[in-house]
Structure 1
Amino acid sequence: MSEAIGGKGATELALPPLRPGKQQRRLDVIAIVATFGGFLFGYDTGVINGALTPMQKDLGFGSVGEGFVTATLLVGAAIGAIVGGRLIDGWGRKKTIQLNAFIFLVGTFGCVFAPNLDVLLVARFILGLAVGAASQAVPIYLSEMAPQERRGSLGGRNELAIVIGQMLAFIINAIIGATFHGDNVWRYMLVVCAIPAFALFFGMLRMPESPRWLMSKGREDDALAVMMEVRTEDRARAEMAEVRRLAEEEAESKTGGWSDLGTPWIRRLVIVGACLGIAQQFSGVNALMYYGTQLLKDAGFSDSAAPIANIANGVTAVIGGALCLFWAVDKFSRKGLILFGVIATTISQGLITLAAFTIPDGNTFKAWLILFLCDMMLFFIQLTLNVPVWVCLSEMFPLRIRGFATGLCIFVLWSADCILVFSFPIVVGAWGIKMMFLILFVIGLAIIWFVRNFLPNTSGRSLEVLEEHFAAGDFLINDRATPAVGHGH
């Protein structure tokens, strides 16, 4: 059966069902290798959590320097998202991921051997370039390799890899901090990142390019060959027919760059995507991931207990991410999950603010309550917010500008993250965690309104059919009726 979708009278055709076999196993291997990019993203952003204190003592900088060390990576990430967006459209998804692995290595060794703060900031900026490019290249690569029935769970594996990387960074920091002594201990924490960078670079040598990117470059035979690696033949040919038809339409309309922002429906998607990136960052997730140890010290934990207690944040994030990936992301609509996530996160921020304002400092109960509330906040972020946001950003845009448009949105996302994490230690140092979380709570109320009224739902339909809905000006069709995933339409 087929289902009319509006627009130019196009229809979404039924696809042959997915069948287990070697193609699905090959797809799983591709996902595992590619998500080493997410793991690197997570370790590089999480390792600073425990490394900052010995780094400050070794290189001699204060709270402003602390903000610069953390935020410099995010400035690089914002620029890397823009540059990476052009690279993955022009050079390919696979080659861009391999380049990211090399840049991760350069930045890692630059940090490890940095003799002073200036060199460290340059190396952190280089790491940020890789983080920014990887933050879009890997999700786009996975979403374009995945069948629509598995797009959420496969695309979301990158976010799970990120939080696993952050959790392992917390654990390794605690182990190294307890085992080694001296101001140089932070260098040992950072050098561990080189291992997954090598694994990503050499692993991607044996992985295929995205079939949708190959098709956009006119390499139809190569695209079909890749698709048949990860689909049965009947399914591969059916999907490629849909991709071919849409690629031909896009070639006629000459899409592909800044000029496309003059098209109202594309401009709307980019603005919504950029706002979604801001919303994801002002959930406060990275404030906890970068400054969790310092925040727990402020809440009342001792210098020795805070790094150990901070491991709970990493474990909670992994549990929430795993539940989202293997249960929630393809069971519920993207928009529904994100809306629930911002509501739950905002409530958690309000409770942390209330606890910080009402319970006296020095109270042990206050320290443990704030740890519990931070864990609850992270759990809801990972269960219902982070994975759906990154998957949604990889699904929203037309094929020929997917990298470009996603790069713009992730540039805004990293810019918002930079503002948040630079200001976090300064605000907390001046007014305490109560004021920081009060600010996040107020912003959270505005985010709830935005998601409810402007975010389209991207789950339940192929990337090509989503594009046709949006081009026809129908942004909320899946709010009215989301088709069941995996049953053909």
Structure 2
Amino acid sequence: MPASPRSPHLNDANAATPSSPELSPQSSPQQTPPHSPESRFVFRVAMVATMGALAFGYDTGVISGALPFMSQPRSAGGLGLNAFTEGLVTSALVFGAAFGSLAAGHFSDKYGRRTTLMGLALLFTVGVLGTALAPSVSIMTVMRFILGLAVGGASATVPVFIAEMAGPSRRARLVSQNELMIVSGQLFAYVLNAILAHLAHSPHIWRYMLAIAIVPSTLLFIGLFFVPASPRWLASKGREQEAHEVMTRIRSSEQQIQKEMQEMKQQNAIERDQAGWAEVWATPWIRKLLVIGIGLGFVIQFTGVNAFMYFTPIILRSTGMGTNAAITATIGNGVIAVIATFIGIWLIGRAGRKTMLIVGLVAVVIMQILLGAVMAWMPQSMLRSYVALAAIMTFLLFMQMLISPVYWLLMSELFPLRLRGVLVGAAVAFQWIFNALVAFAFPIALQALGSYTFFVFAALNVCSLVFVCTMLPETRGKSLEQLERHLQKHLSQTELQS
């Protein structure tokens, strides 16, 4: 996701409150000028890393256009999918992503973010070729699972890599670039699906849709040869000289470099012998952070966002719209998602993470209730189709503007450095499990419950709203090291009060 133009008020928006002495203006490091060579280099690093997010977006978006053709009989070039196998093929990628994100956390901490991403790029290629050539439902399911390993690994590794390369004032914007690339990949998939559905007449057109995903994975693999390793990961492994060399490429101020290096050394000195799952279970505030991370995965997925991303053509066909028209209409989802993410990147530097989530969830609840009402009580007609599409697009506007960017940013911020890869991997793994449950159950629920499916989503989102209001701490305006100390203090106090 290309970063949006830097606002002159960005530093103010990300500054800490004056009441916090450790974050006072006197103690804040000089920030890297937005147009300096160092700033441009960090932007290029983010662009390379987010090729993984582009592949992630394309692979999750392309299935919406491929499914109607894969559901055709084998004699017509499809795989003969029914409601159950549609859910199985769709969710196989997402279940794979759960395992991929968990494993990537371990490899990311052990071998580094950059090396892990190179391995994931190769896994993307294997998965893409396997799905494009799959001759049966069983092989397609296995290949989608393998592709999911890469998608999940990228979802856990890319935000952490970018966050560790960016300075405090630019972290929100650059990490949100990851979300922009995801929705851009989905939009790219929707547009290509529509073009191929209208212009190509091959019975195997869905295979071409799936094969195109090899492009971003190839760009990711090649681009990683031109970016450095994370300085925070290098420092955590005792390779401080290499970390300093990387810092000189991504920060313009020696004062800033020295301050961040000193913070890394102090954290590593405290944490070097403490990392591991044993520490998670033994440390109440870290356990609570993990619970919050897992809860946020429930929040983002049980909005139902991926039910719309995967199954909008099926939803629209149920309102009376034709297959090609439904696939074309899905482009609107992608356009809205990209526009909303740009707005979200602008907002995320100016509003609190918690506030954005609360407003977004209120809007999501309203749109789910509206969509359920439209599906339940409006007679089948083109008006019904257009109102349903408008409700879906409005839902996606608030979802991609206020909820999705905040989720991925929080995944890069919440967890302590020594456990970041492992805990991000675990939290994102649960997010993918929730995603898989929605992807598998939605076509079955839609067939069994019809419009009441959307009322169920609305009720779940009310529960998510209560969770965010009561459990989530604010993370805005702090360096990663300062944020760790703040969360430890805040959650330890909460633990004592409870």
Q: Give the TM-score taking structure 2 as reference length.
A: 0.92
1:397-436 aligned at under 5 Å gives the runs 397-432=415-450, 434-436=451-453
Structure 2 equivalent of residue 33 of structure 1: 48
Residue 2 of structure 1, CA deviation: 11
Q: Superposed, which structure 2 residues align to 1:331-480 within 5 Å?
A: 331-360=350-379, 362-432=380-450, 434-474=451-491
Any residues of structure 2 matched to 1:266-277 within 5 Å, and which? 266-277=286-297
Alignment of 1:278-317 (within 5 A): 278-317=298-337
- In structure 2, the gaps of 5 or more residues are 1-15, 73-77
Secondary structure (helix, strand or coil) at the match of 2:134 reads coil
> How many Å apart are 1:296 and its aligned residue?
1.2
One-letter code aligned to 1:18: T
For the Cα contact (< 8 Å) 1:469–1:475, is it kept in 2?
Answer: no
- Give the Cα separation in 2 of the matches to 1:187 and 1:53: 12
Q: Identify the residue that residue 8 of structure 2 maps to in structure 1.
A: none
Partner residue, 1:240:
261
Q: Displacement of 1:309 after TM fit? A: 0.8
Q: Is residue 2:93 matched to residue 1:73?
A: yes
* Displacement of 1:299: 2.4
- Per the alignment, in what secondary structure is the counterpart of residue 417 of structure 1? helix
Letter in 2 for 1:66: E
**Partners of 2:285 and 2:491 within 8 A in 1:** no
Q: What is the RMSD computed on CA atoms of the aligned residues?
A: 1.7
Q: Is the 8 A contact 1:397 1:405 kept in 2?
A: yes
Q: Secondary structure at the match of 2:323?
A: coil
CA distance in 2, matches of 1:473, 1:189: 48
Amino acid of the residue matched to residue 16 of structure 1?
A: Q
Amino acid at match of 1:390: W
Which residue identity does 2:392 align to in structure 1?
C
Distance (Å, rounded) in 2 between the aligned partners of 1:249 and 1:28: 31
Deviation at 1:178, TM superposition (A): 1.2
State the aligned residue count. 470
Gaps of 5+ in 1: 478-489
Q: CA separation in 2, counterparts of 1:258 and 1:63?
A: 43
The within-5 A match list for 1:198-237 is 198-232=218-252, 233-237=254-258
Shift of 1:255: 2.1
Counterpart position of 1:485: none
Q: Partners of 2:347 and 2:228 in 1: how far apart?
A: 28
| Structure 1 position 431, deviation (Å) | 2.6
Asked if structure 2 preserves the Cα contact closer than 8 Å seen for 1:5 and 1:469, the reply is no
In structure 2, the residue matched to 1:120 is 140
After TM superposition, give the deviation of residue 357 of structure 1 in Å: 2.0
- Verify: 1:23 aligned to 2:38, yes or no: yes
Q: Give 3-state SS (helix, strand or coil) of 1:472's partner.
A: helix
Distance 1:450 1:475, change over 3 A: farther
Task: State the secondary structure of the residue aligned to 1:126.
Answer: helix
1:123-142 pair list within 5 angstroms: 123-142=143-162
> Aligned pair in 2 of structure 1 residues 3, 328: CA closer, same or farther (>3 Å)?
closer
Tell me: CA distance 1:258–1:369, structure 2 relative to 1, closer, same or farther (3 Å).
Answer: farther
CA shift for structure 1 position 228:
1.1
Question: Contact 1:63–1:425 (CA<8 Å) still a contact in 2?
Answer: yes
Whole-angstrom distance in 1 between the partners of 2:123 and 2:286: 32
Cα distance in 1, alignment partners of residues 493 and 119 from structure 2:
37
Residue identity in the other structure for 1:223: A
In 2, Cα distance between equivalents of 1:257 and 1:207: 30
> How big is the shift at 1:298?
1.3
Question: Match for residue 45 of structure 1?
Answer: 60
Q: Distance in 2 between matches of 1:476 and 1:27?
A: 36
Contact 1:296 1:310 in 2 (8 A): no
Query: Cα offset for 1:472?
Result: 2.1
Q: CA deviation at 1:292?
A: 1.1
Output the CA distance in 2 between the equivalents of 1:259 and 1:237.
Answer: 29
- Which residue number corresponds to residue 484 of structure 1? none
What's the offset of the Cα at 1:37? Answer: 0.4
Q: Any conservation in 2 of the 1:215–1:243 contact (CA below 8 Å)?
A: yes
Paired letter, 2:343: L
Percent of aligned pairs sharing the same letter: 37
Q: Is the 8 A contact 2:247 2:257 kept in 1?
A: yes
Q: Measure, in 1, the Cα distance between the counterparts of 2:137 and 2:332.
A: 30
Q: How far apart in 1 are the matches of 2:17 and 2:181? A: 37
Change (3 A) 1:476 1:442: farther
Instruction: Determine if contact 1:2/1:14 at 8 Å carries over to the other structure.
Output: no
Take 1:94 and 1:17, find their aligned partners in 2: how far apart are those partners?
25
Map 1:91-170 onto structure 2 (within 5 A): 91-170=111-190
Q: Give, in whole Å, the separation in 2 of the partners of 1:37 and 1:256.
A: 27
Residue-by-residue CA offset, 1:69-123 (whole Å, 9 max, x unaligned): 0010111000011111101011100011111110000000001111111111111
Instruction: Please list the CA deviations of residues 145-202 of structure 1 after superposition, one character each: whole Å capped at 9, or x if unmatched.
Output: 1111011110011110000000110000111111212321100001111111111001
Aligned equivalents of 2:81, 2:372: Cα separation in 1: 29
Paired residue type of 1:83: A
Indicate yes or no: 2:272 matched with 1:251: yes
Matched to 1:343, the amino acid is: V
Q: Which amino acid aligns with 1:405?
A: L
Partner of 1:487: none
SS of residue in 2 equivalent to 1:385: helix
Tell me the residue number matched to 1:483.
Answer: none
Residue 216 of structure 2, aligned match among 176, 185, 196 = 196
**How far apart are the structure 1 equivalents of 2:193 and 2:267?**
48
Q: Distance in 2 between matches of 1:304 and 1:17?
A: 50
Query: In the TM superposition, what whole-angstrom CA distance separates every residue of 1:250-286 from its partner, at most 9, and x where no partner exists?
Result: 125x123344222000000000110001100011111
